[in-house]
Structure 1
Amino acid sequence: MPRSPRLSRCLACALLGLFAGGTQAGTTPPAPNALQPLLATMNERLYISELVALTKWDSGKPVQDNAREAQVIANARMQATQRKLDPDDVANLIAAQIEASKLVQYGRLAQWQATHKAPDTPRPDLNNDIRPKLDKLQNLLLTQYAAFLPYRKDPNCPQWLATERSALTKDYLHDQAMIRATGELCIAGR
């Protein structure tokens, strides 16, 4: 029995709707507005790590500084309590930032050792210039982290991170450091 043109159109519309709906279901919604500023601050912190590496090159001091790391994490825990954030989550976030920073420092020092020279750029003072900037960035980072908290468990979080992070990195070393810096952000599926 032949189909009516009206029935054929309805069937075609239904199939089109089904396929269009299936296509939309596979797309990731846009990242929340809270993510980009948080990643930009993490990235800025990594660029400051390059300056830290220069001071370590000049002074010969090791990258690993357990006392300073413990102090930074203790400060972060205290700030977390004041902001009504989970101190353990904040400690993990800041520890990830420290590890990412050390990744950049070790990478740059290895590059400079291989060429027997570091860049000939002005060196800010570690204690008087760089650390105060890092402290301000940590304060900003915690504010931005608090704004991003509602999205940490979203199943799209890892995809958002991958997309937004790739727009910020300039080379392989920074890409790896950003992966480490953001490693504690998404808890979807955990």
Structure 2
Amino acid sequence: MTLHLKLCLALSATLLASAAEAASTPATLAPLLGTIDERLAIADQVALSKWDSHKPVEDRQREREVIAAAVTQAPTYKLTAEAVEAFFAAQIEANKLVQYARLSDWHLQGKAPDFPRPDLVGQIRPQLDQLQKRLLQQLADFTPYRTDPQCPQWLAQATHDGRKEPLRQLALVRATAELCVFKG
């Protein structure tokens, strides 16, 4: 067998193994990550609202309300209160990460972008509430895979996208930090 043929066979085997591994990623992961990313996109709008109102990013009372509402709904989705609390705390932290970065950039530039400003209470929060329901269902759908030893690898592959803005990629990594759990 020639060296060229051996290299082609080795490369083919590697590609097949990678394809098989990618194929074994649960179908429930992509929709969950898509909704998480959708929620992160709203962080820019929240940051604009905070810029205009001069309110701090940190709003512990609102964070407690969001988490409590999600925890209350946990039994409907057959999720534990602890899992829901950790998951939504991670969503909030990821969202704040984006807000802090955007506000810092705008302070450096001396102005925020000239984008339409949706109302935080009347428009943005209802969007977040709708996303919360989808996230709960998608978290429930993904739950059987959370203890799989491959879970961290699936997340790493799914969240490391070179086409994504570095801040959004980092926020997505933070938002998914509570997804994989290990039974010890």
Shorter chain as denominator, the TM-score bin is 0.7 to 0.9
- Distance in 1, Cα, partners of 2:183 & 2:37: 26
Matched, 1:159 2:153: yes
Q: CA deviation at 1:172?
A: 1.5
Larger Rg: 1 or 2? Answer: 1
- Distance in 2, Cα, partners of 1:172 & 1:182: 15
Matched, 1:53 2:47: yes
- Counterparts in 2 of 1:138 and 1:168: CA distance versus 1, 3 Å: farther
Of the three residues 43, 53, 56, the one matched with 1:62 is 56
Alpha carbon RMSD of aligned pairs, Å? Answer: 2.3
- Counterparts in 2 of 1:47 and 1:168: CA distance versus 1, 3 Å: farther
- In structure 2, give the amino acid aligned to 1:85: L
- Distance in 2, Cα, partners of 1:56 & 1:108: 11
Contact 1:28 1:156 in 2 (8 A): no
**Aligned twin of 1:113:** 107
Matches within 5 A, 1:145-156: 145-156=139-150
Q: What TM-score, normalized by structure 2, do the two folds share? A: 0.86
Q: CA deviation at 1:133?
A: 0.2
**Aligned twin of 1:102:** 96
SS state at 1:28 partner: helix
Contact 1:100 1:181 in 2 (8 A): yes
Matched, 1:42 2:36: yes
- Counterparts in 2 of 1:151 and 1:169: CA distance versus 1, 3 Å: farther
**Aligned twin of 2:74:** 80
Query: Which one is further off, 32-41 or 162-171?
Result: 162-171
Query: Which one is further off, 116-125 or 29-38?
Result: 29-38
- Structure 2: gaps of 5 or more residues: 1-8
Contact 2:32 2:139 in 1 (8 A): yes
Q: CA deviation at 1:163?
A: 1.3
- Distance in 2, Cα, partners of 1:162 & 1:86: 25
**Aligned twin of 1:11:** none
Q: What TM-score, normalized by structure 1, do the two folds share? A: 0.83
- In structure 1, give the amino acid aligned to 2:115: T
- Distance in 2, Cα, partners of 1:119 & 1:68: 25
Q: CA deviation at 1:159?
A: 1.2
**Aligned twin of 1:124:** 118
- Distance in 2, Cα, partners of 1:149 & 1:168: 27
SS state at 2:126 partner: helix
Query: Which one is further off, 134-143 or 75-84?
Result: 75-84
SS state at 1:73 partner: helix
- In structure 1, give the amino acid aligned to 2:176: T
